[in-house]
Amino acid sequence: MDDRTRSCTWDVFCEHLASYAEDEDFILVVQDDIDLGPLNGLPKDKIFVSSPSDPNMILNAAGMALSGKRPWVAGRSSKMIARSYSQIRESLAIPSLPVRIAVADGGLSRGEDGASRTMTEDLSLMRGMPNMSVVVPSDSNSVKGITDAVRKANGPVYIRLGQTPVSQLDNDREGDFSLGGARLLREGTSVTVCTCGIMGHQALKAADILDQQGIDIEIVDCYSLKPFPEQTLLASVRRTGCCVVAEEHSYIGGLCSATAECLSGTYPVPVKFVAIEDRFVHSGAPEELREYFGLTWKEIVNAAAQAWALRRR
């Protein structure tokens, strides 16, 4: 990993989205309280600044999609997901309109703002909504690749981005990204470690420690939570016989649930979760909160050792 190139996924997203702006149909729906970085320089007709009502912003985007546009909507998760859930459900998901919802403060990346503004159940809410696709990029390459894939989607998509600077997970490969895809970050034979977002970085740190204990983990970046990359996961778990899931989210309804749902029906193996318990978070710096809620390489090491011990010989 190259620490010199650390950048947060939200910034990379804004930069990459700006490259689409020349597209005739490009339109971004926002409110005026969000830092759009390079997107601020877009021509006026490419940005629609909605009224200061979060539900209305979603409905504005729905109206544009009804006339054949494929708008992007950007904002904070607490506003767009929590306050506008029923508008997303009724105006985007039920009619399956091609609106892409990008949140800037996914997970604990704005932990200072406290429980009301830090959503750790957003993936659960969006994944449980029929017709909605859900993706969580983990580094610059995946932001670009996933954004390109999402651009072609015909239905609504939820993109969870963050504001914590992260390094590139695999410098050598740009990779192919698609809805329903996953990326193999490290090959191994002992334990499958399934991650999304920032936890891929923690899993790579854990791999070095586990190597010294003779446990060779395989890390799969499951950036597409829905549609879920079942075949990639199953192929890995058939080799390793056990699985650890790590995500910056409640263990209910997100990647942990998606993985358990997939494995329990097709290939049941021991599965351990590294995720937030069923509780709301406190205010705090993101790094402090990740330590507090057990979202670090240390918990992945413990979980991998336990899963490995539980697998059938």
Partner 1 sequence: MENTRINELEKIAAEVRKDIVRMVGLARSGLIELPLLISDVLVYLYWEEMLLLAGSPSRKDRDRFVFGAEDGVPALYAILARRGYYEREQLWHYMRLGAMLQALPDFRRIPGIDAPLVTSGTELAIASGLACSLRKEGLGSRVFCFLEEKDCLGKDFMLEAEMCAGYGLDNITLISVCKDKAGTDPGSYPESMGRLKTYGWDIFETDGNDFGSMEKVFSEADCGSGRPAAVYAKVSNGRGLSFAGDDAPKIKMSMETMERALEELEGKTNG
Q: Provide the binding-site residues for partner 1, judged by CB under 8 A.
A: 27, 29, 45, 48, 50-53, 55-64, 66-69, 86-87, 90-91, 94-96
HEC string of 7-53 equals ECHHHHHHHHHHCCCCCCCCCEEECCCCCCHHHHHCCHHHEEECCCC
Strand partners, 276: 250
* Residue 226, beta-bridge partner list: 134
Nearest residue (CB) to partner 1, 86 versus 171:
86
Distance CA 115, CA 113 (A): 7
Tell me the closest approach of the beta carbon of residue 108 to partner 1, in angstroms.
Answer: 29
What kind and span of H or E run contains 58?
Answer: helix 54-66
Q: By C-alpha distance, which of 102, 105, 107 is closest to 61? A: 102
Instruction: Show the tokens assigned to 69.
Output: 């546009």
In the complex, what is the shortest distance from the CB of residue 29 to partner 1, in angstroms, rounded to a whole number? 8
- Residue among 24 and 172 whose Cβ is closer to partner 1: 24
For residue 112, the 8-state DSSP code is G
Kindly report the number of other CB atoms within 10 A of residue 167's CB atom.
Answer: 16
Sole residue written with tokens 């979202």 = 295
Please state, in angstroms and rounded to a whole number, the distance separating the CA atoms of residues 215 and 280: 33
For the CB of residue 94, give the shortest distance to partner 1 in the complex, in Å. Answer: 6
Q: Which is nearer to partner 1, 89 or 298 (CB)?
A: 89
Nearest residue (CB) to partner 1, 91 versus 259? 91
Q: What is the closest distance, in whole angstroms, from the C-beta atom of residue 291 to partner 1 in the complex?
A: 39
CB 253 within 8 Å of CB 228: no
Cβ proximity to partner 1, 57 vs 222, nearer residue:
57
Task: Output the smallest distance, CB 288 to partner 1, in A.
Answer: 36
In whole angstroms, the minimum distance from the beta carbon of 79 to partner 1 comes to: 13
- In terms of CB distance, is 50 or 77 closer to partner 1? 50
